[in-house]
Amino acid sequence: MPRMNGSILVGLAIAGTIGALAYPVVYSYPHRDDATKAAALTGETVNTQWGPLTPLDRDLIVRVRLAGLWELPAGQQAMTRSTNAAVKEAANHLIVGHNDLDKRARTISAQLNVPLPSQPNAQQQGFLDQMTSASAADYDKVWANLLRTAHGKIFPIIATVRNNTRNSLVRQLASDANQTVLDHITILEKTGLVDFETIAEGAAGPSASPTGPPPPVAGVVPPNAPALESPGNIPVKSQPSPTTPGVVNTNRPEAKDPNTVGQGG
């Protein structure tokens, strides 16, 4: 009997050990996304296979999604309400650009487990309401300036994320968004309706270069700056990127289908 009791105790000990080892695995599988979800709420940085994902990274993904949620319908509205060919061309760029960016943002959100909104925020809905309520005479100008102002505000944010991110997926999204936003800024300005004075007043702030050159003085001609010179006779093969004035090249590979991409895929 003592020998049997000893065997039972040994068996129980082994079963307990196996259970203790198995518990973290069994528990962790259904809770494998908890850390990422918690980080999204608390503003923490989480590690992914593509590099650290920071709050600023997640914010850009959400901003790209939000931009499409109001700028796409704004483009569609202008295609039906405006009679201005330049406005319709700009609207076309918005529709194409945000369809593409939205697909990329949704793909990345699936891979990185970043939740996305499905409705524009209150400010963006307000922009759409202003466009809708604008008279036929004012519509084109209201439309162009609301969109140009919004694109101008997101532009430096994209650059900041592109410079700082350590996540390769976010870095590519920032590159694509930078290209598309510059295209939209350019095509909106080509309408001839953008009020640059109002935009400059809204962006007024400290100088980007407070220690830079003094302002020009009337009647004083500054000396010509010397040309840049390469140090030594170094052979180079690259050429400046080809561009057409007033046109931004947004050609890039087709985006993945977000419905076929899962987290970590």
Pair of tokens at residue 163: 């410079």
- pLDDT (0 to 100) of residue 11: 53
Inter-CA distances, 21 with 14, 25, 59, 164, 188, Å: 11, 8, 38, 40, 61
Q: pLDDT truncated to tens, each residue of the chain (265 aa)?
A: 455 455 554 454 545 544 544 444 444 434 545 554 555 445 689 999 999 999 999 999 999 999 999 999 999 999 999 999 999 999 999 999 999 999 999 999 999 999 999 999 999 999 999 999 999 999 999 999 999 999 999 999 999 999 999 999 999 999 999 999 999 999 999 999 999 999 998 876 554 444 566 666 788 877 776 776 766 777 767 676 666 767 777 778 888 888 887 666 6
Neighbours of 78 (CB within 10 A): 24
Per-residue pLDDT, 248: 76
Strand partners, 46: 53
pTM (predicted TM-score): 0.75
What's the pLDDT score for residue 24? Answer: 41
Dihedral sign, CA of 114, 115, 117, 123?
A: negative
Supply the pLDDT for residue 251: 79
pLDDT of residue 171: 97
